[in-house]
Chain A
Amino acid sequence: MKNNFVKLVSILFIIAAVSAGILAWLNDTTKDIIAQNEAMASMDPAILEAVMPGSVMFYDFEDTALIDTVKAENNKIINLMTAVDASDNELGKVVRTWSTVKGFNGDMELYVGFTSDGQISGVSVISHQETSGVGSKTAEPAFTEQFIGKDASSEISYSDYDAVTGATYSSESFLSAVNNAIKVYSDYLK
């Protein structure tokens, strides 16, 4: 009987090992393309322009200790960055954050840019899972551009913005992300 048990386990092990091997190879092959896809999704020039007009790159904050402190306190924050233009001048700060209130299908991931005089320079959606044609409209400029120029000294209330008709949950999730960025900006980056 023990022989049988060993045989059963070995066969399972072989199947598992072969599968793992194939997956390891495939993972290696696709790793770079995947990383590129993810990076492009968040570093698309169109997104950079929408969040901080004139910027060509977002760099992580030099003060990485601050990034860690903020992330430890606010676990929806993904990154704190500096936006620079073509001559490497600092244009402002950018917060990359999750929403704090779930959208229709999940959390939304946003960039919120802040000028040096404390106004929102632009907002852009990096990823979302909202329904196409409905909640996905929150990713469109017609919706996101309303935040440009808003004062970042206090959170934006529900009465101060226009939600997408028929996409209330997506809109409120979006707003929660913007407000989370504003909170971090006011507390740490001003």
Chain B
Amino acid sequence: MDLVSLFITSFIVNNIIFMQFLGACPFLGVSKKIDTAAGMGIAVIFVITLASIITFIIYHTILVTFELEYLQTIVFILIIAALVQFVEMFLKKSAPGLYQALGIFLPLITTNCAVLGVAINNIIYEYEFIESLVYSVGTSAGFLLAIVLFAGVRDKVDYADLPDSLKGSAISLITAGLMSVAFLGFSGLQL
């Protein structure tokens, strides 16, 4: 599969949130304002891309060489946790406004299924380095797209007249479901 179609597929056709569900927790939690959502999305692109690169290298040079593949889960999650720490410190210094706005959701990028999911998928699909890079950037860009779109919609939903039991996560999920239908439409896309 050439790189362009790999990108489009991971960006839209197999959108990480609407089609693969990875990253659903922060997606539902953060996205109330478009600029916060965008900030979160960009932070995630950064973390996923870097995490992919590092985990890929470590897996192929160390884990495979020493037949330690079973340590994949532990090693990957520790790399991700450390990476998120660095991003946190970096943002605190260079973009304190965004750091405040993201709040608790920034360290929670560590438990974002999308980050670990992408790292693991790079191994499962036996991607080469450039392919894994394209896959990571495409996937995380898809996360950004999803989260910004959702923030826009969520904004309007807040003004809607809803029965009490549906307010909050329930209506968020249903809304996400309807947006997912739209993304389902991309599935036939042949490149």
Contact = CB atoms under 8 A, between A and B. Distances in A.
Direct A/B contact, Cβ within 8 angstroms: yes
Interface of A: 16, 19-20, 23-24, 26-27, 75-76, 98, 100-102, 106-107, 168-169
Contacts of A19: 74
Interface residues of B, number: 14
B14 A102 contact: yes
Interface of B: 1, 9, 13-14, 70-71, 74, 124-126, 128, 187-188, 190
Contacts of B70: 23-24, 26-27
B128 A75 contact: yes
A101 B188 CA distance: 11
Contacts of B13: 102
Among the interface residues B1, B14, B125, B188, which one has the most CB atoms of the partner chain A within 10 A? B1
Contacts of B71: 20, 23
A168 B74 CA distance: 37
Given A98-B125, A101-B1, 4 more contacts: A23-B71, A101-B190, A106-B125, A168-B187
Contacts of A100: 1
Contact of B74 (A20, A102, A106, A107): A20
Given A101-B1, A102-B14, A169 B187 contact: yes
A75 B126 contact: yes
Most central of A24, A27, A102 by chain B CB within 10 Å: A102
Contact of B125 (A16, A23, A27, A107): A107
